[in-house]
Amino acid sequence: MAGQLAERGHVLIGQSGGPTAVINASLVGAIHEAQRLDAVDGIYGALNGIEGALARRIIDLRRESAATLQALLHTPSAALGSCRYKLQPEDPARAVNLMRELGIRYFLYIGGNDSADTAHRVAQAAEEMGYDLRVIGIPKTIDNDLPVTDHCPGYGSAARFIAMMTQDSARNTEAMPEHYPVKIIEVMGRYAGWLAAAAALGRQKPEDAPHLIYMPEYAFDPNDFLSRVRATVRQRSYCVVVVAEHLADAAGRQLGEAMAQGVDAFGHPLVAGVAQTLVDLVRSELGMRARFDKPGDMQRMSTMHISATDRDEAYQAGRMALRYAVRGVTGKMVTLVRTNGPRYACETGLADLERIANEQKLMPANYVTPDGVNVTPAFLDYVRPLIGDPLPQHATLRGERLQ
């Protein structure tokens, strides 16, 4: 790790991977910090992440107005554009050469596991090439599957969306259970159940939806699923099931695999159709009407569901990333560290980019009930502070019957 740089340098910031509701808050945090720090001269933005940087698609962020930066705090998605680009063998050296040429001393990369891998390789190349570049990753993913960090910026807002929308949508089924008693809601999360689990936060009463939650960490058993759906409909007259986008049976076969459409640049399979598969299963095996909601990309970035806590933490992560870099840190990702105490609070820490790139944090066993289809109070305690303000509560009639 190098110490304080003798001369001023420029910072280059990029956004990568699936955008979130608060990834721009991290960008703004970094820009604000850069404006404050004497060590930083030019403030550059890479359009579409490392892919754009390699193509010299770089903009001057000092030309953006204070009002634009302020408004970006409330603007979801990646203002710089994003990418899912896997580095080619020659790319890290090319990136370092470009940065040397442009006088870039600080490289901040906002993203998830794959982006940490990109940042790690660039940091390695800089070291090998003897160029004093400080590379810091800023965590970002709605999937919440990065190791070390307590949670990931972007998750709290997506969790808020999923909790509220499950409750909103379930009210429709509850109001008219005869019409179609079974509803499947398919959410994202890659191979982790953090997002599906967050649906439980919307419950106002214990009997509220979601009645069943299926997470990728547990093998999916169609017969068990069907018997639970049948039992829930018998008991409550309707059943709302939240399912992760990736579910596999005990043999490892992906649900809806027949509808798979290939793999992305990192080799992750692109699968469609878990919800449709389960709807078909309920119809054919239980003879019940079923429908599905699939919010899709809406859950990444709903303007109306941004968690203020999530936004503030994303902003702080951006600020601290640059502060760490100027202090001489490189090859690390900023982490969020929950402090002990009666009230929720978070500080920032650091973790090796290499570790972030190669590990996936799944839902721990103590966050899931033994039956595998619900979450524990410990999980709710973990996630509740992340979604910001308390959720609006729905009123219900006391409904005193006549006579």
Name the residues annotated as catalytic. Answer: 143
C-beta of 184 vs 373, nearer to a second copy: 184
Interacting positions 181-220 with a second copy (CB under 8 A): 183, 185
Q: Find the part of the chain contacting a second copy (CB under 8 A) among 81-89, 216-224, 339-347, 372-380.
A: 81-89
- In angstroms, what is the minimal distance from the CB of 371 to a second copy? 26
Interacting positions 85-144 with a second copy (CB under 8 A): 102
- In angstroms, what is the minimal distance from the CB of 267 to a second copy? 14
Please check whether residue 353 is in contact with residue 173, taking contact to mean a CB–CB distance below 8 angstroms.
Answer: no
Interacting positions 365-384 with a second copy (CB under 8 A): none
C-beta of 263 vs 365, nearer to a second copy: 263
C-beta of 278 vs 350, nearer to a second copy: 278
Binding mask of the shown chain, residues 139 to 178, with x at each position contacting a second copy by CB under 8 A: -------------------------xx-xxx-xxxxxx-x
Distance between alpha carbon 179 and the CA centroid of its chain, in Å? 34
C-beta of 250 vs 304, nearer to a second copy: 304
Residue 11, H or E segment: strand 9-15
Q: Tell the burial category of 304 from Cβ atoms under 10 Å away from its Cβ (0-12, 13-18, 19+).
A: exposed
Interacting positions 265-284 with a second copy (CB under 8 A): 270, 272-273, 276, 279, 283
- In angstroms, what is the minimal distance from the CB of 170 to a second copy? 8
Interacting positions 18-77 with a second copy (CB under 8 A): 18-19, 24, 44-45, 47-48, 51, 56-61, 63-64, 68, 71-72, 74-77
C-beta of 2 vs 260, nearer to a second copy: 260
Distance (Å, whole) CA 255 – CA 276 = 10
**CB within 8 A of 129, min separation 6: which ones?**
93, 96, 97, 100
264 binds a second copy (CB under 8 A): yes
Give how many residues touch a second copy by CB under 8 A: 81
C-beta of 72 vs 226, nearer to a second copy: 72
Interacting positions 295-324 with a second copy (CB under 8 A): 295-298, 300-305
Q: Which two tokens stand for residue 281?
A: 């299963």
Residue 210: is the preceding peptide bond cis (ω within 30°)?
yes
Which residue's structure tokens are 């090796």?
352
- In angstroms, what is the minimal distance from the CB of 161 to a second copy? 9
- In angstroms, what is the minimal distance from the CB of 56 to a second copy? 8
Distance (Å, whole) CA 297 – CA 306 = 14
Please report, for residues 8, 51, 142, the alpha-carbon distance to residue 188 in angstroms, rounded to integers and kept in the order given.
42, 25, 8
Please check whether residue 315 is in contact with residue 73, taking contact to mean a CB–CB distance below 8 angstroms.
Answer: yes
286 binds a second copy (CB under 8 A): no
β-pairing, 9-15 vs 134-139, is unpaired
Please check whether residue 138 is in contact with residue 119, taking contact to mean a CB–CB distance below 8 angstroms.
Answer: no
Q: Helix axis angle, 23-36 relative to 308-327, nearest 10°? A: 40
Among positions 32, 41, 84, 98, the unique one binding a second copy when judged by CB under 8 A: 84
Residue type, 331: G
- In angstroms, what is the minimal distance from the CB of 164 to a second copy? 6
80 binds a second copy (CB under 8 A): yes
- Measured over the CA atoms of residue 30, residue 35, residue 39 and residue 42, the dihedral's sign is positive
- Measured over the CA atoms of residue 100, residue 106, residue 108 and residue 113, the dihedral's sign is positive
Among positions 217, 293, 310, 313, the unique one binding a second copy when judged by CB under 8 A: 293
Q: Give the start-end residues of each E strand in 63-199.
A: 104-111, 134-139, 182-187
C-beta of 74 vs 327, nearer to a second copy: 74
Please check whether residue 191 is in contact with residue 153, taking contact to mean a CB–CB distance below 8 angstroms.
Answer: no
- In angstroms, what is the minimal distance from the CB of 338 to a second copy? 27
